[in-house]
């Protein structure tokens, strides 16, 4: 895809959160109505015929486009959050990060076996958080699950797609 308008509006923040990292800041895409329209329209075209019944947004940047896309697809929206943020019973999964572990949760009544799920987040780098979210969604036994990111970093050493099996359906709007 690599839409020129999206690339032109994507902010790069050097040395954030630590020295040597070139942080890709999607907030500049979110504040621009043309960019929001491009992202949502492109994603809608990708997924409009897939029978999506739920869009799962990964905390927190995945909530922005995920919720808009759910509306446009006529699907429900499910929040995948850090522990203690969801008020009812949850399923959870813990996963390893570069330093330590983290946990994510989804309400136990959020997804069922009749659902076709699209998981959405802003960025694919190492794939750890999305792989955990994908495994969590799979625990609900949906009919099908797709994964989407706004940005995929193809920088040597990251290889986020390696966190998933080869048959996992993953799409991105921008590859950098």
- Catalytically active residues are 61, 98
Distances (CA, A) of 136 to 18, 54, 68, 99, 168: 29, 14, 22, 21, 14
**In angstroms, rounded to a whole number, what is the distance separating the alpha carbons of residues 159 and 176?**
12
**In angstroms, rounded to a whole number, what is the distance separating the alpha carbons of residues 44 and 51?**
12
Q: Where are the alpha helices (DSSP H) in 101-172?
A: 128-138
Whether residue 17 is preceded by a cis peptide bond, meaning omega within 30 degrees of 0, is: yes
């Amino acid at each position: 895809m690599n839409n020129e308008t999206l690339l032109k509006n994507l902010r790069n923040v050097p040395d954030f959160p630590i020295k040597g990292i070139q942080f890709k800041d999607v907030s500049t895409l979110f504040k621009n109505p043309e960019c929001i329209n491009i992202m949502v329209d492109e994603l809608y075209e990708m997924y409009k015929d897939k029978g999506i019944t739920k869009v799962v947004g990964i905390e927190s940047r995945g909530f922005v486009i995920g919720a808009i896309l759910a509306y446009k697809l006529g699907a429900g929206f499910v929040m995948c959050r850090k522990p203690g943020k969801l008020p009812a019973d949850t399923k959870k999964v813990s996963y390893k990060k570069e330093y330590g572990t983290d946990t994510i949760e989804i309400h136990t009544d959020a997804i069922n076996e009749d659902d076709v799920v699209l998981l959405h987040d802003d960025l694919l780098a190492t794939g750890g958080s999305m792989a955990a979210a994908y495994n969590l969604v799979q625990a609900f036994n949906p009919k099908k699950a797709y994964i989407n990111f706004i940005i995929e970093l193809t920088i040597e050493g990251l290889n986020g797609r390696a966190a998933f099996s080869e048959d996992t359906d993953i799409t991105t709007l921008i590859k950098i």
